[in-house]
Amino acid sequence: MPEESELVLCTVTKIHFTSVFATLDEYENKSGMIHISEISPGRIRTIRDYVKEGKKIICKVVRINRERGHIDLSLRRVNEGQRREKNELIKKELKAEKIMDFAAQELKLPPKKLYEDVFQKVQQLYPYLHQCFEEIVTKQFDIKQLKLDPKVEKILETLVLQRMKPPEVEIKGTLTLQTYAPDGVKVLAKTFKEISHENIEIKYLGAGKFSVLIKAKDYDFAEELFEKHIEKQVEAFKEGGGIAEFART
């Protein structure tokens, strides 16, 4: 059973006049109900304007009656950021499961059996398979700790290193730079030279504003780049008499 307040992937199965029934894909297709009041804020004329049979939706678990096995779900209590985050997690987990399928093919083993054997050991350390694989790629975790069959270990590690992209951390924001100095063009050129880095992408938005995207292998490195190439240059620009600001988005 899921936990209350957990976000779950569901498939809509039945639509009634005042409620929707859906299966919880991640929990052996257990069934949950969404009352019309939990579909969307405000008055709803027709539920089918929001959901359709067979549609995949992200819901929040509102209440669980474990004795009866009833699960109450909400669609309206999931904001756009939570929906994106959950969808991204699902995509990563599906990719990890696909790697398990390739491993099963090479080992000539039933995919379900291999998945169960490996995940039984992974879940003692990680809630999701992809988290384990990501840390293998970034060398934060040694696959030998899972104590798998040596042949399984070798093939699985090879496939993970080949197919898993190291996770990235991003810092996004808008940089504002304005100067009325006679040599303003030179000041700007010098500032952008100091900001320049292979992990930093800058695009001109107009009216002295620029979008900034910092990509790094981990949060500490991303913050290090931000402090050295953005924060430091913003202060230097202001000390030179210009107007400078960075707003994170």
Q: Where are the domains of the chain?
A: 7-77, 81-163, 169-248
Q: Return the structure tokens found at 95.
A: 């990719």
Burial state string for 157-170 with b = 16 or more CB within 10 A and e = fewer than 16: bebbeeebeeeeee
What is d(CA 157, CA 154) in angstroms, rounded to the nearest whole number?
A: 5
pLDDT of residue 42: 87
Q: How confident is the model at residue 199 (pLDDT cuts 50, 70, 90)?
A: very high
Q: Give residue-wise pLDDT tens across range 157-174.
A: 999 999 988 777 889 999
Q: Are both 7-77 and 169-248 of the same fold?
A: no
61-107 tens-digit pLDDT = 999 999 888 999 999 999 998 999 999 999 999 999 999 999 999 99
Q: What CATH number does domain 81-163 carry, 3.30.720.210, 1.10.3720.10, 1.20.1250.20, 1.10.150.190?
A: 1.10.150.190
At the fourth CATH level, the homologous superfamily of domain 169-248 is: EIF_2_alpha (3.30.70.1130)
**58, 74, 64: which is closest to 19 by C-alpha?**
74
**Adjacency order of strands within the sheet including 209-216:** 200-206, 209-216, 169-178, 243-248
Average pLDDT of the segment spanning 227-245: 93
Q: Hey, what are 83's tokens?
A: 């929906």
Of the two residues 217 and 141, the one the predictor is more confident about is 141
Give the pLDDT band (50/70/90) at residue 218: confident
CATH superfamily of 7-77: Nucleic acid-binding proteins (2.40.50.140)
Residues 173-198 as b/e (b if ≥16 CB within 10 A, e otherwise) read bebbbebeeeeeeebbeebeeebeee
Query: Per DSSP, which regions of 37-188 are E strands?
Result: 56-65, 70-74, 169-178
Q: At what angle do helices 150-163 and 80-107 cross, to 10 degrees?
A: 130
Residue 203 pLDDT greater than 90, yes or no:
yes
